Structures are given as structure tokens and as C-alpha cells.
Amino acid sequence: MKRHLTRVVRLFFTGIILVMLVVFATKVNWHSTWAAIQDSSISILLLAAAVNLFSLGLKGVRWWIFLRPIGAPSLFLALRATFAGAGLNNVLVANSGEAARVIFVSRAAHITSAKVLATLALERLFELIGYVVMLALAVSFLPLPPVLERTRPFAWFALALIAGFLIYLVRRPESPDQIIASTEIGWRAKTRQYGRRFMQALAGISTGPRFGAALALSVAIWALQLATYALTAEAAHFPIPLVGTVAAILAVNIGFAIRATPGNVGVFQMLYAATTTAFGLDENQAIAVAFLIQTQQILPVTILGIALAPEFIFQKRRKAARPDNLLPDEPVLEKTVVSG
């Protein structure tokens, strides 16, 4: 019953979003938008695409920082899974690629999925932290539209809350008796065991040096995304100021954890246009820039994801024994500092 209600609610909100997109599409001058796309600079667009790919590569490095201590030292594996997962996110809804890359790394490195999921949870947390840091600084020091300025107290509260949570993870004592053998059967018992393995792995990889490296990478990743947006606008001769680019990237990523459409196509254009027109810019040209940004984020990433991990994209899931069921007693991870 609960699952059915969740599905109904999801379909309801998806329907609302689709109606909004249809209404938005009817108001767009597609002839002007296409003309702006055709008039853009190819060389600058290629540079923007390269910057975007580099930022995605840094996301793979950030994940690798947390994968190393659980027994997955291959940077190439982390990069393959990151690009393949991003490629799947571009063609599926609800960030399905994130769950798929947990399975991919778990099987490739022969590590229980609970451990891999813990590393991915931290990697995604630092994606959020980078966004919140940028939001808090922007709403405090830049003249943003009122809708974004009103988020100032929430941004700083979220930043303080996240800082407290990170301190808790670093200082949280490890318990050797946290994972114990169990003769219980059934999905509830298995879920409890999985949750314990997840929390043990989370505690084992949470250290100050790793968090510091992940935070530095997060700031660099968001800075590169900002550069991607600015370069694309320049390629399309879109006279948006830096503050406008900051406002746009904040607005379109407010719901980055949830994708209402594959690749958020349509929703992205609507939010980007609504934000940039607040700075007195042309809506049709803004939509053209938004399409160019997403073209760079979808096509090269998806092609690279398929090239780096074709078996991840196309191979059907094989029926195999789950490592989580075979390893009820796992040793506690040591909090070793990553070097290099």
C-alpha cells in the first residue's frame, strides 16, 4: 500500500512538471533559439565541453579517495564507474546511474555493496557540501535575485548542520562488535545486517584528511562547472554577468539530487531561462545557452561512459551470489590516512 501511494505521488508530481514544461515550450520562440545555437562559437564550445569532462573526472577522483581504504585502489575503476554512472543518469530518471555504479564497483573489486554504498554516500555528500558552500557565499556577498537571497539563513544553517555531521563522523568511535554473525533470516534481519555493514564502513573511511581532500576537490568541481556555464554563454554571445552565471548554476542545481526527466532536460532550460531573464537578458537566447550546456553535459559524457564501461551500460544483470550474504562477519576498517 505504501509503495503504491509513493508511486501515485511520484506520478502526480511528474505530471505537474510535464504540464509546466509543455506550457513553457509553447511560449518559446524556437526560431530565435535555434538561430542563437547556430551562431555560437564551436571552438569555445569544445573548450567548455573539455572543462566539463575534467570536472567529472575530479568527481571520480573524489570518490576514489573513499574507495581506496575499503580495498578498491584503482583510480581507473573509479573513473570508469563515474563516467558510466553519469551516462546512465543522462538517459534515466531519478539518478539511477548512482545505484548502478555501486553494483559495478562492488562486482569489479569483489567488495560488499554496503561498503561501496558508504563511499558513494560520502562522495555525494561532498557534492552537496560544495553546492551549499557556493550558495552560502553567493547569497551573502553577491546581488542575487530575491528568490535566491531568501535562502541565506537556510544555506548557513545547512552548512553548520553538515559541518556538525562531518565532525561526528570523524570523532565517532568504532565498535569491533558492531558487525556480528547472525542466524536470523528474512528481509528485516538482512536489512539490519546491511545497515550495520554500511555504518561500519562509513565510520572506517571518515577521517579529517580525506574530508579535507574531498572538500578541496568539491570546490574545484563547482568552480569548473561555473567556468563551463560562462564559456558556453560566451560561445553563444550571451552577455550574462558573472553574478548571473552564479545565480543560474545555483538555480538549476537546487534539485540536483532528483531528476524529474532523463538528464533533467526541459526542467534545466526552464530554470536557467527563468533565472537569467531576471537580469534583463533575452529568454530565447537563454534557452539556447541552456540547450548548449546540456548538450555538452549529455553527449560527450554518455559517449565516454559507453566507451569506458560498455559492459556496465549494456550488460544485463547476472544472477550471482550476493557478497553481502556471504560475509556476515567483516573486520573493522582502520582509519588510515590516504597519501598522495
Q: Would the pLDDT of 260 be above 70?
A: no
Cα–Cα distance for residue pair 250/145, rounded to 1 Å: 11
Q: Would the pLDDT of 215 be above 80?
A: yes
Q: Would the pLDDT of 166 be above 80?
A: yes
First to last CA, the chain: 51
In a domain, 334, yes or no: no
Name the least confident of 16-30, 75-89, 134-148, 184-198: 16-30
In a domain, 67, yes or no: yes
Q: Would the pLDDT of 324 be above 50?
A: no
Cell of 47: 573548450
Cα angle 47, 125, 143 (rounded to 5 degrees) comes to 60
Q: How confident is the model at residue 317 (pLDDT cuts 50, 70, 90)?
A: very low
Q: How confident is the model at residue 202 (pLDDT cuts 50, 70, 90)?
A: confident
pLDDT computed for residue 322 by the predictor: 42
In a domain, 291, yes or no: yes
Mean pLDDT of 180-205: 72
Mean pLDDT of 113-135: 92
In a domain, 50, yes or no: yes
Amino acid found at 325:
N
pLDDT computed for residue 152 by the predictor: 87
Long-range Cβ contacts of 147-153 (<8 Å, 24+ apart): 148/247, 148/250, 148/251
Summarize pLDDT for 263-293 with one digit per residue, the tens.
676 778 888 988 999 898 988 889 889 989 9
Q: Would the pLDDT of 136 be above 70?
A: yes
In a domain, 10, yes or no: no
In a domain, 134, yes or no: yes
CA distances from 26 to 22, 241, 264, 267 (A): 6, 28, 18, 14
Mean pLDDT of 54-73: 94
Mean pLDDT of 305-316: 67
Task: For residue 197, count other CB atoms closer than 10 A to its CB.
Answer: 22
In a domain, 289, yes or no: yes
pLDDT computed for residue 26 by the predictor: 53
Q: Would the pLDDT of 143 be above 70?
A: yes
pLDDT computed for residue 197 by the predictor: 80
Cα–Cα distance for residue pair 27/30, rounded to 1 Å: 9
Name the least confident of 1-5, 119-123, 220-224: 1-5
Q: Looking at the whole model, is its pTM more than 0.75?
A: yes
In a domain, 9, yes or no: no
pLDDT computed for residue 212 by the predictor: 94
Mean pLDDT, rounded, of the chain: 79
Q: Would the pLDDT of 114 be above 80?
A: yes
Amino acid found at 319:
K
Q: How confident is the model at residue 179 (pLDDT cuts 50, 70, 90)?
A: very low
Cα–Cα distance for residue pair 80/308, rounded to 1 Å: 6
pLDDT computed for residue 180 by the predictor: 45
Summarize pLDDT for 29-51 with one digit per residue, the tens.
455 666 667 788 999 999 999 99
State which residues form the domain around 130.
34-316
Q: Would the pLDDT of 126 be above 90?
A: yes
How many structural domains are present in the chain?
A: 1
pLDDT computed for residue 156 by the predictor: 92
